[in-house]
Every structure is written in C-alpha cells, then in structure tokens.
Amino acid sequence: MNFVTTQEAWRLIDSYITAKLPTEEVFLGDSLGRILVEDVFAPFDEPAFDKALKDGYAYNSQDLQPEVVAVQRAGEDLGRSYAKGECVKIMTGAVVPKEFDALVPVEDAKIVENRLQITAKVAQNICYQGEYLLKGAKILAKNEKITPQIVGILASVGKKKAQVFRKPKVGVLVTGDELVESFSQLEQGKKFDSNSPMLALQIAELGAEPIEYRVVADTLQETTDAIEKAVRECDLVLSSGGASMGDYDYIPKALENLQAKFEFKKIKFKPGKPTFFATVKGTPYFALPGNPVSSFVVFNLFVTRLIKKMLAQDSQPKSFLLPMGKRFVRSIDLDRQEYRPANIVDGKIEVADFVNSGHLQALAGAQGLVEIPAGQKELPSGSKQRFCWFV
Ligand code: AMP
Ligand code: MG
C-alpha cells in the first residue's frame, strides 16, 4: 500500500503488531501517567470497620437520654464494652462500638448532666464495614492509566509502588541543513529546529520516553546511519523532514537502503501528505513531514494511535460533532480531506487563522482540529462538524 486514505492509515496502524513492553516497578510519586500492568484487589474490607461519619455521640437508638461514659477518638481501640443506657462521645473516622446503631452529630446534641439529648432529626451517620468494597474485590484493572486519584486508591490499600509498563523509547531524528541551534548560526535562510522539542513533548505527554537525536545532515550516508542507530536503540522512531521530492530529501532512499517494509508512503490528507509508516529492522518507523504544523498534526492523528496501542490504551481519538461558529471556506486542495487547527468557543468550532503548514503560530491556543471532508469547500455556520481534541 502506498497512497492511503486516513481511514486506511488508521486501520494499518491499529492492526500493526508491536512488541510487548517489559514491566518495571515505580514509586507512586513517580507513577503519574504510567500504565498499570496488573489488576489490583482489595486486601481488606473498606471501610475495614464500622466507621463514624461525624464528630458526635454514638448510641443505641433504643435508649432514651443515655449517659456519656467514654470518648472514642479515631485510630484508637478503647477495648471496652457498653451497657444498656450508655453511649460514647466519638470522632469522625473512629470505630463505632458494636453496641451502637446510631450517631448524632455534635451540632444536633445537647449534654445535660452527662446525658445525651438529641435536638434534631438525625441520619444514622455510620458507614458499615465493607460498604465501599469487600476484601478480594477488583479495585483497579490492568492497563489503567495512573492519575492522582488512582494513586490515592493504590495508597489506600497500602501500596508504595506500582507495577507498570516500561515507557516506550521513541527516537526523534530531525533532518535539514537549514536547521540551527543558536542565534550566532542564524544566517539568512537558516531557522531554528522547532520539531525536536515539540515532538519530544508530544511523546512525553502520552507517557512515552523521547530520545532526541537532534539534527541529521541532509546526506544519504548520515541519514541512513542515523536511522540505523535509532531503530536499534528505540521501540519506535520518528523523523521529521527530508521525506518528500526535494533533491536533498534522503529519508525515502535511506529507508530503501535499510530494506524497510512499508505500510504506507503517503496519506491522502492535509497537512502532511508525505508521511511514511514502515518497519525498519524490526522497529516501527514514521517519517513525518518537516513543516512544523504538519509534523504536529501527523503526530497527533497517526503516531499517537501507535504509541497508545503500545501502552495498551484505547487508541481512538476523542472526537465530537459540534456546530460551527463562523462559516469556514477553503480555496485549494478541495479534493483532499483536511484538518485545521481550531478552538471551541461557547460550544462552537472556531477555525484558527492559518496561512500554511509552516505557520506554527496557528497552533497557539488551538485545542484540536476540525475535519474538513474531501470535496467540501465550505463548512457553513451552524453545521455540525467533527472536532478532534489534541492528545
Ligand atoms: P522538508 O520536509 O525537509 O522538505 O521541510 C519542509 C519545511 O519544513 C522546510 O521549510 C523546512 O525548513 C521546515 N522544517 C523541516 N524540519 C524542521 C524542523 N525540525 N523545525 C522547523 N522547521 C523545519
Ligand atoms: Mg529538509
């Protein structure tokens, strides 16, 4: 397959078989965004005992004006029992003694001569053992992405570490003799490399580890050597630039030299038609276009899916049909499906100002991409269109 539609490209990526990642153990504090590799089960009932939900008095609802005979604080076992007609002052989170079936909050209680009087209608205010979950219940499923709330759940069952997939190593090569690193090198015709740092953070945002190889010179030898090294060292390799029809675009030739097995060589869409997906010496490889907006968008729509799949995550992008705000009209490449940087303003899609795929500023503040179907010139105001969120 050489020239594929976006649908075909997605299908090829989704059905691509990647090697299973090894696992490792990380401290909870280092686990944000990592992926759990095993189910987690409750080691005890939760709550583990009948628990006071309020600061107040625990009593037996059969008793009238019981006598307060003890104070029960959280985390403490008084190791005593209570006779009929007795009650206990109790703090939130403390064990409710088994003799009691009700708890009146402090604000609804009055103590007169050490006896409890209830001044308002009150709820029970006791959370019974196992009411949240029972010992042995599955509390987290494997392949779940660790968030602060997941860490809270892990910590609540006594875990200090989590078993997670090792982050996939994603190599980034950028090509282009015009790319420089400092102002002193910024002669006429030169420019800074924006794609390396941008791709590195796009990779990191997905929970993978970027390996930046920085700028590769536009020669066949250097390009071939750089790809060969990167595919040896990484689980996935991306290159930016050097992949189209220019005299110094050596990526296609280097891939041929390395006997790459191509999944596709071009995608019928905008921006980023010259995008390759191949296997190079056993490692998946994407050649992304050099233009920064194309590089960003192709990563977002295509590379993201493979990285999510490597991490056992749902690879479907988050997309919604939303009404257009201002009407949008395009004038060229109408035969191609196109994705434009866009925003949601008051629940409506607003297309960002966009000159061409070199116009990186168009992405500032954009929250996603609006899909413009092939053959369509205009997205009328109020018409429902597909909006794909970034990440
Ligand atoms: P290429 O795909 O190599 O033909 O590059 C297309 C355009 O993208 C050219 O204007 C390049 O200067 C620009 N470009 C390529 N790589 C980068 C990069 N890493 N950072 C910024 N611009 C780039
Ligand atoms: Mg180039």
Helical spans, DSSP H, in 172-243: 195-205, 220-233
pLDDT of residue 13: 97
Strand pairing class (23-27; 161-165): antiparallel
Cα–Cα distances in Å, from 362 out to 190, 284, 369? 21, 30, 11
Distance CA 32, CA 309 (A): 18
Tokens matching residue 68: 């307060």
What length is written for the chain?
391
What kind and span of H or E run contains 215?
strand 209-216
What are 300-359's pLDDT values in tens digits?
Answer: 999 999 999 999 999 888 899 999 999 999 999 999 999 999 999 999 999 999 999 999
Mutation choice for ligand 1 from 199, 214, 240, 363, CB with most ligand atoms inside 8 A: 240
CA distances from 354 to 10, 317, 360 (A): 25, 23, 9
Q: What is the pLDDT of residue 1?
A: 62
DSSP state of 133: B
| Distance, CA of 378 to CA of 122 (rounded, Å) | 62
Give me ligand 1 centre to Cα 319, in Å. Answer: 29
Q: Which helix (H) or strand (E) holds 348?
A: strand 348-351
> For 147-166, what is each residue's pLDDT tens digit?
999 999 999 999 999 999 99
Q: How far is CA 223 from CA 218, 227, 231, 263, in A?
A: 7, 6, 12, 20
Ligand nearest to the CA of 298: 1
CA of 87 to the centre of ligand 2 (A): 81
User: What's the DSSP call for residue 46?
Assistant: B
Rounded CA separation 171/227 (Å): 9
Distance CA 381, CA 109 (A): 62
- Please state, in angstroms and rounded to a whole number, the distance separating the CA atoms of residues 311 and 303: 13
The ligand that comes nearest to the alpha carbon of residue 178 is: 1
Give pLDDT < 50 ranges for the chain: none
User: 261 with 277: CB under 8 angstroms?
Assistant: no
Residue 292 identity: P
Atom of ligand 1 lying closest to residue 178 CA = 12
DSSP state of 156: H
Q: Cβ < 6 Å from ligand 1: which residues?
A: 174-176, 178-179, 191, 193-195, 240-244, 246, 249, 289-292, 358
**pLDDT score at 391:** 75
Residue of 180, 191, 273 with the most ligand 1 atoms within 8 Å of its CB, for mutation: 191
Please give the Cα distance from 242 to 219 (Å, whole number).
10
The residues, any chain, with a CB within 8 Å of residue 376's CB and separated by 6 or more, are 334
Best residue for ligand 1 mutational test, from 291, 357, 359, 361 (most atoms within 8 Å of Cβ)? 291
pLDDT value at position 166? 98
pTM comes to 0.92
Q: What number does the ligand 1 atom closest to the CA of 243 have?
A: 2
Task: For ligand 1, atom 17, name the residue with the nearest CA.
Answer: 290
Q: With b meaning 16 or more CB within 10 Å and e meaning fewer, what string describes 31-68?
A: bebbbbbeebebeebbbebbbbebbbbbbbeebeebbb
Residue 237's Cβ-count burial label (10 Å; 0-12, 13-18, 19+) is: buried
